[in-house]
Structure 1
Amino acid sequence: MRQWMVGVALAAMASAASAGDKVAPPPGGLYLGADLSYVNEMEDCGAVYRSGGKPVDPFALLARKGGNIVRVRIWNDAKWTKYSDLADVTKTIRRARAAGMQVLLDFHYSDDWADGDKQIAPEAWAKLDTAAQAKALYDYTRDVLGKLDAEGLMPEMVQVGNETNPELMGGVKKPKIDWARNAVLFNAGIKAVRDAGRASKIAPRVMLHIAQPENVEPWFDDATAAGVLDYDVIGISYYKKWSTRSMPQLGETIARVKARYKADVIVVETAYPFTNDNADTSPNLLGPDTLVQGYPATPKGQRDYLIDLTQTTVDAGGVGVVYWEPNWVSTRCGTRWGKGSNWENAAWFDYKRHEALPAFEFLSRRYVPRPARQPAGGQ
């Protein structure tokens, strides 16, 4: 096992050494944006987004308000929906680029949602052994990026997995990760991104993504020991409803993680409700149990939460905040969980006419790191 670990680590370091220059961060060095994976579907369902009473393109609005990055998910073969496949993702990236923003492509490596509780392998790969799964993962990642590059749409950043707290493609969360297998799969995905970058004018930065700050350090310690080394960015999901850590504690985690693993850190998922009311019969995922003292479920409370979260991230040395998913409003369409949206109370648009809310204001703020607070009695 030790020889295997060393071999994986050397392969990862060789990949890092031979990779080309990574894409530069946006002007100012701070990634601020949102996951807009639902926009195409919402518009097909009749949603019309407005600002100042006038219909707007949501991508152009995000950019105009100060956003500089769009995140978009991709599923392997989601037969239950016609969205979040390569065609839909291509459309989203093209719209983001037309608005002048960078793109973060989020590979779920699943036919359905992959998250901190489950990582279900694509049906086509489920019965393969580890070596065959690694090859399939590499080929798929390389193929998607190659097709995007051929369209002039290579993303500037790529997630190798989404909220990969459990074992990648390992099913429902297990008590223990098989890191011998997990490292092979992660390094295959990372290598695919690096190889695609070497063949393109754009060499995407690689992000690995863990849900909730309390899980980040244990996971990356294990990943490091297993030889998963060649990444540029650590993405953290932070939803207070599902986290044991406060906003200040999130900042402390970001500072430690940045120093410990020598990687940039982005809060790549977060959200906050502007109301506890419902616009439809689909239950809100973020209810009163997600609220933080000092930030009521109001449009101003939502905005203030985002401003303070971003300032906390910047103070800790983090390089960005990406919101999930501000355009998932209530429409005539539905999901497997009910008619409408499970997220409309955490969107950035009101219930009446989908008018833009003050939450957008966090994108245009100037965030300057504040001096660290001295402990009581300090100099």
Structure 2
Amino acid sequence: MPLAHPLRALPAALLLMLGTLPAAEAREGRAYYFGSDLSYVNEMEDCGATYSRDGKPEDVYALFKSSGANLVRLRLWNDPKWTPYSNLADVTKAMKRAKAAGLPVLLDFHYSDDWADGDKQLVPAAWANLSTDQQVEALYKFTYDTLMTLNAQGLMPDQVQVGNETNGEMMGSVTWKQGDPVKPINWERNARLFNAGIRAVKDAGLKAGKTPRIMLHIAQPENVEGWFLKATKAGIEGYDLIGISYYKKWSKMDMAGLGAVINRLRHTYPGKDIVVVETAYPYTDKHMDENVNLMGEDSTFPAYGFSPEGQARYLLDLMQLTLDNGGAGVVYWEPAWVSTKCKTRWGSGSNWENATFFDFAGKALPALDWPKADYVYPVEMTFRVKDEGQSALFVSGDFTGGLAVPMTRENGWFVYRSWQRPGSTLLAGAATTPEALKDAPASEITVPAKAAVATLSTK
């Protein structure tokens, strides 16, 4: 929680020692994700869609690869009898295309026969009458068998989502209609299901010799911190990434609020990477078909408006915001869901046509190349305090969002590492208890261009 009082400022002569880390202490750089969810591509191409830069149709996966993308997200439903897409056969086809283009894959298990999202988590029909014990076993087996089937074809994904926008209880409803009240989560059951999925990914990875990174995913930043706090208390563990959906249309937070959430999450869960795994922005308020577009005025910010250039600027700013707050990447939702003659659940054409990376003729817009922008990447700052026998030490400051973060013992020091924007100025202090931080001496630090160590004083 925020500190009651600001850290006590140190006289200039007592400010921290700051220097470049010795080579032996240098830590590896991080991976950053520039992704797109291309789950609709196979269906759109079957319906006649084409994609190009200059009017000449190109392979869409190669097109995204050439734009600098380094991750493709694909959803998987259990047994969607209502559509031939997003089942295992369709996902396998898509993963082969991604592999041919040199694009890693994030496989998104919905654990449903239909859309699982922030409003609903419908249990697969085949599992609806099973006991909780049986559902836990079924979820484990489905996850493990799916991954091993893919691995047999050389398609083990690089990342796996255990659930999609799991704001509600995983597989928590048999039926759902708009306006149904939100049911409280049975966290004992929820934790068992999540941990079964996580364990299945790890077991499959161990068997295959390649373990995907595991993501848990919540819709809208205002819901994320509370959910993960409860999930942690319930014993959900073993995942690597925290995924957030961020849509202006459905979120109560502006972009600054999103940044603050990312910042607090990375300090609350320092071993996890934070990714905005769904977002979108409209480039026009026009439409090509009669399917009413979801992205309207309520999906825009005044700074960007409706324009291809505004859409691109939104993505660039969102990625930089994510980096500045210690996040690891952004994934755009369905940038290739263009209008075609076919019908989806919501009618003929596409209700996402004005939020894709392609104009109504299928020609690429500036947003396609958002991964190529000149971003400012964070550097790793190591904060340390001499180990003089203290039982514990905590670090805090404006850079932690006011959180008191425990430091760890390493080779005669208490240490905490954090990724920070070069050139930024921050305050940091340390104390033996979270309560004592309000009176701790504060060191003002200008983050250098390379990884560095900052020695703090508690006196």
Judge which range, 362-371 or 180-189, deviates more: 362-371
Equivalent residue letter for 1:303: A
The 5 A counterparts of 1:21-170 are: 29-170=31-172
Provide the residue aligned with 2:21 in structure 1: none
Provide the residue aligned with 2:400 in structure 1: none
The DSSP-based 3-state class of the residue aligned with 1:169 is: coil
Judge which range, 284-293 or 267-276, deviates more: 284-293
Provide the residue aligned with 2:319 in structure 1: 310
Provide, for residues 188-222 of structure 1, a one-character-per-residue CA deviation record: whole Å limited to 9, x for no partner: 00000000000113110000000001111000000
The DSSP-based 3-state class of the residue aligned with 2:202 is: helix
Q: Report how many residues are paired.
A: 351
**Separation of aligned partners in 2, 1:345 and 1:211:** 22
Structure 2 residue corresponding to 1:186, chosen from 178, 187, 194: 194
Provide the residue aligned with 1:215 in structure 2: 223
The DSSP-based 3-state class of the residue aligned with 2:244 is: strand
Provide the residue aligned with 2:417 in structure 1: none
The DSSP-based 3-state class of the residue aligned with 1:119 is: coil
Equivalent residue letter for 2:254: S
Provide the residue aligned with 2:374 in structure 1: 366
Provide the residue aligned with 1:236 in structure 2: 244
Provide the residue aligned with 2:295 in structure 1: 286
1:321 and 2:330 matched: yes
What runs of 5+ residues in structure 1 fail to find an aligned partner?
1-26
Structure 1 residue corresponding to 2:256, chosen from 248, 251, 255: 248
Structure 1 residue corresponding to 2:351, chosen from 342, 349, 362: 342
Provide, for residues 90-145 of structure 1, a one-character-per-residue CA deviation record: whole Å limited to 9, x for no partner: 01111111111110000000000000000000000011111100000000000100
The DSSP-based 3-state class of the residue aligned with 1:55 is: coil
The DSSP-based 3-state class of the residue aligned with 1:124 is: helix
**Separation of aligned partners in 1, 2:368 and 2:294:** 21
Shift of 1:361: 2.2
Shift of 1:373: 6.1
**Separation of aligned partners in 2, 1:336 and 1:317:** 37
**Separation of aligned partners in 2, 1:73 and 1:150:** 20
Provide the residue aligned with 1:12 in structure 2: none
Shift of 1:272: 0.2
Provide the residue aligned with 1:17 in structure 2: none
Provide, for residues 327-359 of structure 1, a one-character-per-residue CA deviation record: whole Å limited to 9, x for no partner: 0000000112211001000001001x2000000
CA contact (8 A) 2:52 2:63 kept: no
**Separation of aligned partners in 1, 2:224 and 2:424:** 23
CA contact (8 A) 1:274 1:345 kept: yes
**Separation of aligned partners in 2, 1:188 and 1:29:** 27
Percent identity of paired positions between Structure 1 and Structure 2: 59
**Separation of aligned partners in 2, 1:341 and 1:76:** 24
TM-score with structure 1 setting the length: 0.90
Equivalent residue letter for 2:216: L
**Separation of aligned partners in 2, 1:81 and 1:196:** 28
Judge which range, 353-362 or 171-180, deviates more: 171-180
Provide, for residues 300-336 of structure 1, a one-character-per-residue CA deviation record: whole Å limited to 9, x for no partner: 0000000000000000111110000000000000112
The 5 A counterparts of 1:250-289 are: 250-262=258-270, 263-289=272-298
RMSD: 1.6
The DSSP-based 3-state class of the residue aligned with 2:84 is: coil
Of Structure 1 and Structure 2, the greater strand share is in 2
Equivalent residue letter for 1:340: G
CA contact (8 A) 2:293 2:351 kept: yes
**Separation of aligned partners in 2, 1:144 and 1:131:** 20
CA contact (8 A) 1:33 1:62 kept: no
Provide the residue aligned with 1:300 in structure 2: 309
Provide, for residues 274-295 of structure 1, a one-character-per-residue CA deviation record: whole Å limited to 9, x for no partner: 0011111111111111111201
**Separation of aligned partners in 2, 1:345 and 1:373:** 39
Shift of 1:28: 6.4
Name the CA shift for 1:259/1:374 in 2 (closer, same or farther; >3 Å). Answer: closer
Shift of 1:48: 1.0
Provide the residue aligned with 1:357 in structure 2: 365
**Separation of aligned partners in 2, 1:130 and 1:255:** 36
**Separation of aligned partners in 2, 1:235 and 1:185:** 18
Name the CA shift for 1:374/1:259 in 2 (closer, same or farther; >3 Å). Answer: closer
Provide, for residues 206-256 of structure 1, a one-character-per-residue CA deviation record: whole Å limited to 9, x for no partner: 000000011110000000000001100000000011111111111111011
Which protein shows a greater Rg? 2
